Amino acid sequence: MMMTKKIMALLLCGSLTAGILAGCGGSGSEGQTAEAKPETEAAAEEAPAADEGAEEAAAEETAAEEPAAEESAAEAAPADGEDKILRLGWSKDIQTMDVHRTTDNYAVPLNIFDRLLEVKLNEDGSTELVNSIAKDYSISDDGLVYSFELRDDVKFCDGTPLTSADVEATFTRMFTLEDSVQTDFTTCIKGAQAILDGNADSLEGFRVIDDTHFEIELEEPFAGFLSVLATPTCCIFSKANLEEAGDDFGMVPAKTIGSGPYMVTDWKTNDSLTLVRNPYYWGEPASASEVHYKVYPEPSTFNMAFQNGEVDILDCDFLDSSIVTSTYETDAYKDKLIRVNRLGTYMISINAGIEPMSDVRVRKAIQMAVNRQGILDSIFGGHGELVDGIYPAGSIGFTAENQGWLQYDPEGAKALLKEAGYENGFDLEISANASGSSNIASIIQVVQQNLTDIGINAHIETYDESSWLAKRKSGEMPLFAGVWTLDYNDPSNIIDTFFGSAESTKGRSLNYADTDVMARVTSAKSIVDETERLKEYADLEKKIVEEDASWVPLFALQHTFVISDRIEHFTPHWAGYGDFNAYGVTMK
């Protein structure tokens, strides 16, 4: 017995020591290589890496394709061996690269897939719809049939061409995939609902004409459809790849094939992800030869990594605003700050169904009482743009003509209240969501003070999230602050949600009363002529917000990034997402 114990003790100690030594031994050798790898050497490695990636991709295909792949890969690899690796950080790892299965992991899909159309962000902050792999398109006079012509030089990163059949397979999968989360804005395609209901397995409204021509027919006219096609939701996949990869699609790099400027070569869970140039990309090759993402769960670590030169673009959303102000909003970084509009409108909803706010003068008084610029300056450091209507600054539909009419005027507001017979004010509840964002919570505080200033006895009532939602949906919430971020770059997205029908305006606790206007909102979707359509949306905006004072429009905020010295130029995502296409980055 004594003997056994001794042996056991020896074994236990031995294994412990061995383990410790193994750990330390590794530290010596690996540590050296890690430290002895200066940036130039890392750069020299990138050429073979790109090569390997292309070969791997090509290996999936026939042997005949291989020479071509190698040739292109050689082109893609930077000849000068310069360090062109773009290093980015995430606060948490992505869950999938398959956009049909996620509503927020858009960074990789934006880089490795193409869309039929894209939204271009102009220097002045405005946005417009441009062609991408769709070379041309036309819309039938009834606004129902969209005919597309694809570019004929688009290839996936495995060398196979992208054809109409791939587009069809992508759109069909959006509805047939059991756990698809991306059906909201595309169910307008004819036959989509039938698939979702289990009554069909092919998409009736999609007609392939030949390899580069196809038509999509809608259930009813929807002019915002083109903008929907430009969202990450509508990334185009490879039919052959989808069939071959099955559930590995979006999860395994080698089995996730796209036609975008980059292809994914490596993904380590919770650690890192690597993109390299797609050798077959149809456009100009991307400036950065590789993109390395690393996960930094802790914001201060992320910040130090940027300061240490280990990260090239810092997303200030990850940092505490006091750090952004003290470190980056300084002279040292004034040329390094990149700001982009977030396409979302903050607003204060006023319930026209509740006394005394059913009186338009009271609603106008509330509009005039809120010090919007004050809120923007004090809470958001002034980084945003006032919005006087519905559509956020920078979006399609935003017009300069509808801006500038709403001024902060507490005296005027008091006069209006007096005129309406409320010179002694009234009690008003501002409803707050306990789990809502801190931005909204801060806004509410100021609004309460502003309303008190004109004599309204406003008080904040806080609800837990589900009660708050239930009250709002019942149409009985008197006043609250909110934000709507565009799902796709079209005015219909926001105006329909709030003013599209009696049901939707009640669900938003607005209780907008004018049914004629709501009918116009609905029919505006069918206007095929773009100029006419945008004019109608601008008119509706003026009517609803300026004349009927349905809500207090606040502002659209900006998203701030800091770039390192290695970056020449950076165009963020048009909607102000933290996720962006690295194609928009030019390295020095």
- In the list 40, 48, 67, 95, the residue contacting other proteins (rule: CB under 8 A) is 95
Report in angstroms how near the CB of residue 202 gets to other proteins at its nearest: 19
Q: Which of 311, 417, 436, 440 has the alpha carbon at shortest distance from 364?
A: 417
- In the list 5, 322, 400, 438, the residue contacting other proteins (rule: CB under 8 A) is 5
- In the list 61, 70, 82, 96, the residue contacting other proteins (rule: CB under 8 A) is 96
User: Is 14 an interacting residue with respect to other proteins (CB under 8 A)?
Assistant: no
Report in angstroms how near the CB of residue 58 gets to other proteins at its nearest: 27
Instruction: Report d(CA 449, CA 431) in Å as an integer.
Output: 14
Instruction: Report d(CA 213, CA 165) in Å as an integer.
Output: 10
User: Is 308 an interacting residue with respect to other proteins (CB under 8 A)?
Assistant: yes
User: Is 36 an interacting residue with respect to other proteins (CB under 8 A)?
Assistant: no
Tell me whether residue 487 or residue 541 sits nearer to other proteins (CB atom). 487
Residue with the two structure tokens 């709030």: 498
What x-and-dash track marks residues 143-172 binding other proteins by CB under 8 A? ------------------------------
User: Is 305 an interacting residue with respect to other proteins (CB under 8 A)?
Assistant: yes
Judge whether 286 and 311 are in contact, CB under 8 Å.
Answer: no
User: Is 199 an interacting residue with respect to other proteins (CB under 8 A)?
Assistant: no
Q: Which of 185, 264, 263, 177 has the alpha carbon at shortest distance from 219?
A: 185
User: Is 246 an interacting residue with respect to other proteins (CB under 8 A)?
Assistant: no
Judge whether 57 and 238 are in contact, CB under 8 Å.
Answer: no
543, two tokens? 């009517």
Tell me whether residue 475 or residue 482 sits nearer to other proteins (CB atom). 482
* Piece of 46-54, 58-66, 92-100, 570-578 that binds other proteins (CB under 8 A): 92-100
Report in angstroms how near the CB of residue 423 gets to other proteins at its nearest: 41
User: Is 564 an interacting residue with respect to other proteins (CB under 8 A)?
Assistant: no
Backbone angles phi, psi at 268, to 5 degrees: -105, 120
Number of chain residues interacting with other proteins (CB under 8 A): 54
- In the list 266, 310, 385, 453, the residue contacting other proteins (rule: CB under 8 A) is 310
What x-and-dash track marks residues 472-511 binding other proteins by CB under 8 A? ---------------x------------------------
Tell me whether residue 126 or residue 176 sits nearer to other proteins (CB atom). 176
User: Is 295 an interacting residue with respect to other proteins (CB under 8 A)?
Assistant: yes
228, two tokens? 């929907």
User: Is 271 an interacting residue with respect to other proteins (CB under 8 A)?
Assistant: yes
User: Is 461 an interacting residue with respect to other proteins (CB under 8 A)?
Assistant: no
User: Is 247 an interacting residue with respect to other proteins (CB under 8 A)?
Assistant: yes
Report in angstroms how near the CB of residue 547 gets to other proteins at its nearest: 29
User: Is 224 an interacting residue with respect to other proteins (CB under 8 A)?
Assistant: no
Instruction: Report d(CA 495, CA 520) in Å as an integer.
Output: 11
User: Is 438 an interacting residue with respect to other proteins (CB under 8 A)?
Assistant: no
Radius of gyration of the chain (CA): 28
178, two tokens? 């059991």
SS3 label, residue 187: coil
The CA-atom distances, in angstroms, between 536 and each of 354, 517, 543 are 29, 11, 10
SS3 label, residue 227: helix
Measured from the Cβ of residue 473, the count of other Cβ atoms closer than 10 Å reads: 13
Measured from the Cβ of residue 317, the count of other Cβ atoms closer than 10 Å reads: 16
Dihedral of the CA atoms 517, 519, 522, 524 (nearest 10)?
-70
User: Is 457 an interacting residue with respect to other proteins (CB under 8 A)?
Assistant: no
User: Is 269 an interacting residue with respect to other proteins (CB under 8 A)?
Assistant: yes
Tell me whether residue 54 or residue 97 sits nearer to other proteins (CB atom). 97
232, two tokens? 């990450």
For residue 86, give the H/E element and its range: strand 85-90
Tell me whether residue 191 or residue 261 sits nearer to other proteins (CB atom). 191
Tell me whether residue 270 or residue 531 sits nearer to other proteins (CB atom). 270
Instruction: Report d(CA 445, CA 370) in Å as an integer.
Output: 11
- In the list 3, 28, 124, 424, the residue contacting other proteins (rule: CB under 8 A) is 28
User: Is 468 an interacting residue with respect to other proteins (CB under 8 A)?
Assistant: no
Dihedral of the CA atoms 173, 175, 178, 180 (nearest 10)?
90
* Piece of 56-64, 298-306, 350-358, 534-542 that binds other proteins (CB under 8 A): 298-306
How are the residues of the chain apportioned to helix, strand and coil, as percentages rounded to the nearest 5?
40, 20, 40
Report in angstroms how near the CB of residue 407 gets to other proteins at its nearest: 32
The strand pairing partners of 557, in sequence order, are 384
Report in angstroms how near the CB of residue 442 gets to other proteins at its nearest: 21
Q: Which of 319, 139, 162 has the alpha carbon at shortest distance from 222?
A: 139
- In the list 196, 360, 415, 440, the residue contacting other proteins (rule: CB under 8 A) is 196
Contacts of 448 (CB under 8 A, 6+ apart): 430, 458, 459, 460
The strand pairing partners of 347, in sequence order, are 482, 553
Give the binding site for other proteins (CB under 8 A).
1-2, 4-6, 8-9, 12, 19-20, 23-24, 26-28, 30-35, 92-93, 95-96, 101, 103-104, 178-179, 181, 183-184, 196, 247, 250-251, 268-271, 294-298, 300-301, 304-305, 307-308, 310, 487
